[in-house]
């Protein structure tokens, strides 16, 4: 079947899983690439990309603890809601009064879930505090949350702990010192663009200079591994503007760079106001993505995880790049669905993975903080599904 899409007729969001399956079945590199081309009409470049990422991920997945799990902790608050965002996030000025109650309920869910994990004898390999923007919390609130995680769960076996500090205007020295005090060495600082006019369009209340200042402050506070997210195809952006973003981000030398392709999400403000914005053409976005890939390769980074979404410009993909040895385990585990992820907080989706039967079960928490607070007892009872021998 002929198709103009670089990913052919492939509609799934996890093409690397297909490559991994073929590798595990004994296929060689050329056979895997031919499989993608023949079965899905995927172009050779994307087939090789999926294969290369699978080969990076395989030793990491093979090295997982057979009884290992990961934790996700959701903080659904942001300074503002970005134009393209579909996550359930609450602007801090409107919902600040909910934060203390939300954290009280989150502490209860942490305690309740920790007892189940302990009963199950599971080993926690990675922890990811995401959102939203976790650094929207005050320093004392962030400290209280992280301390509660260490007190409730046995985190003596963790290989990785990440705090998403995505919005530069939420980062200060006190918060970074809290993170560092728990020996947490991974954070994300997500500029999305280094063009001031674009930041205004997408609803960010910070400047490119503040991005640089936040990065430099994180280094000063001893943060070892930093990820930075950028988006190819933001409204109104041209190829030279995207080049500027990549070049300025890479001049800072973060260990990880994630290159997202603009996706028109159903519940985003962008989708509601689509006629008001100039969307980048698919060919231009493909040019941006190729530029990023070539530049990051020159900087010594390799692609290590990939996923796709609906309504992506150019029908492309999101790719995480890293220097060797700094790959995010959590990103690999969740994208390839190879390990149980226990999610805490509103909007969290727990996924239990049985690798022997290839069975995945999901436990959903409610999406709105107000609902989470009012229905916390129900959220706790839903976690009973995790109990072994249920």
**Domain parsing of the chain, residue ranges:** 15-60, 67-344
DSSP H helices in 41-191: 44-62, 92-95, 99-120, 139-152, 173-181
3-state secondary structure of 345: coil
Quote the pTM value: 0.94
| Exposure letters 99-113 (e unless 16+ CB within 10 A, then b) | beebbebbbebbebb
Query: Hey, what CATH topology would domain 67-344 get?
Result: pyruvate-formate lyase- activating enzyme (3.80.30)
Tokens at residue 99, please? Answer: 């934060």
String of DSSP letters for 206-224: --HHHHHHHHHHHHHTT--
What are the Cα distances from residue 32, in Å, to 144, 246, 272?
48, 31, 40
Tokens at residue 254, please? Answer: 């973060």
Q: What is the DSSP letter of 256?
A: E
Q: Please list the pLDDT of the chain residue by residue as tens digits (390 residues).
A: 556 799 999 988 899 999 999 999 999 999 999 999 999 999 999 999 999 999 999 999 999 999 999 999 999 998 887 777 776 555 555 677 899 999 999 999 999 999 999 999 999 999 999 988 999 999 999 999 999 999 999 999 999 999 999 899 999 999 999 999 999 999 999 999 999 999 999 888 899 999 999 999 999 999 999 999 999 999 999 999 999 999 999 999 999 999 999 888 777 777 777 767 878 899 999 999 999 999 999 999 999 999 999 889 999 999 999 999 999 999 999 999 999 999 999 999 999 999 888 899 999 999 999 999 999 999 999 999 999 744
What are the Cα distances from residue 158, in Å, to 69, 116, 124, 265?
10, 18, 6, 34
């Amino acid at each position: 079947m002929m198709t103009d899409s670089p990913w052919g007729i492939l509609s799934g969001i996890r093409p690397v899983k297909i490559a991994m399956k073929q590798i595990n079945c004994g296929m060689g590199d050329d056979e895997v690439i031919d499989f993608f081309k023949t079965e899905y009409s995927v172009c050779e470049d994307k087939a090789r990309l999926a294969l290369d990422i699978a080969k990076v991920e395989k030793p990491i997945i093979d090295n997982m603890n057979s009884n290992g799990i990961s934790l996700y902790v959701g903080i659904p608050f942001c300074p503002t809601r970005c134009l393209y965002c579909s996550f359930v996030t609450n602007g801090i000025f409107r919902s600040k009064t909910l934060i203390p109650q939300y954290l009280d309920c989150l502490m209860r869910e942490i305690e309740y879930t920790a007892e189940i994990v302990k009963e199950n004898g599971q080993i926690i390999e990675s922890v990811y505090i995401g959102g939203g923007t976790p650094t929207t919390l005050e320093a004392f609130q962030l400290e209280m949350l992280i301390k509660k995680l260490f007190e409730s769960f046995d985190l003596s076996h963790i290989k990785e702990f990440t705090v998403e500090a995505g919005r530069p205007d939420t980062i200060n020295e006190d918060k970074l010192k809290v993170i560092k005090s728990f020996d947490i060495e991974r954070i994300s600082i997500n500029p999305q663009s280094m063009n001031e006019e674009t930041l205004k369009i997408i609803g960010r209340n910070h400047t490119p200079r503040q991005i640089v200042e936040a990065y430099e402050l994180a280094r000063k506070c001893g943060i070892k591994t930093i990820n930075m997210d950028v988006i190819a195809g933001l409204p109104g952006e041209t190829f030279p503007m995207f080049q500027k973003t990549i070049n300025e981000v890479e001049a800072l030398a973060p260990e990880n760079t994630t290159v997202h392709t603009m996706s028109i999400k159903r519940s985003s403000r962008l989708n509601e106001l689509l006629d008001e914005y100039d969307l980048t053409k698919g060919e231009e976005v493909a040019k941006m993505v190729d530029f990023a890939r070539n530049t990051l390769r020159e900087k010594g980074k390799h692609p290590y995880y990939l996923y796709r979404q609906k309504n992506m410009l150019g029908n492309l993909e999101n790719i995480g790049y890293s220097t060797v040895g700094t790959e995010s385990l959590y990103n690999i585990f969740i994208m390839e669905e190879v390990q149980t992820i226990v999610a805490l907080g509103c909007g969290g989706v727990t996924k239990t993975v049985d690798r022997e039967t290839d069975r995945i079960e999901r436990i959903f928490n409610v999406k709105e903080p107000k609902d989470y607070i009012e229905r916390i007892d129900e959220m706790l009872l839903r976690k009973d599904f995790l109990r072994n021998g249920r």
